[in-house]
Amino acid sequence: MVGVLDDGDSISIRPTPSNFPVRYVDGKERAFQFQIMAKSQSGNTAYASLEEIQGYLEGLTDLMGDYEYVKCETVSTVNFVEYTEKNEMVFSALFVATLDEKED
C-alpha cells in the first residue's frame, strides 16, 4: 500500500522529503528518499520483512522506466516506531535511491 498502513499485517511505502535534483550538462541526478513501514502482531515478522526488503533494495542493479538506476542505500536501518491501539508493532526503515534522468 502507498502512504499508510492498512488494517492487520501491512507494509507501506511513502516518499519522504528529498533534495532538489542536481543538474549536469546531459541530464540530472535525482535522489528519491522513501520510507517503508511494516506492521504486525508479531514484531519479528514486521522486522524480518523490512530486513528482507532492505537486502533486496541494496542488491538492485537496474530499474525500468525513464531513469537510469545508480544505487539504493539505507539511510536508517530497521527501527521500532510504536505499538498501535491493537497492540501491533510498527517498524520503519528509510532509503534513498539515486537515479539519473537523461535529457534527449
Tell me the CATH number at 93.
Answer: 3.30.2000.30
Rounded mean pLDDT, 66-90:
91
- Look at residue 30 and tell me if it is in a domain: yes
Nearest of 78, 32, 22 to residue 55 by alpha carbon? 78
- Look at residue 81 and tell me if it is in a domain: yes
Q: How far is CA 100 from the centre of its chain?
A: 18
- Look at residue 82 and tell me if it is in a domain: yes
What is the residue range of 63's domain? 10-102
> Does 91 have pLDDT greater than 90?
yes
The model's pLDDT over 4-63, given as tens digits with 9 standing for 90+, comes to 888 899 999 999 987 776 776 666 788 889 999 999 999 999 999 999 999 999 888 776
- Look at residue 1 and tell me if it is in a domain: no
- With cell 528509510, the residue in question is 94
Number of domains in the chain: 1
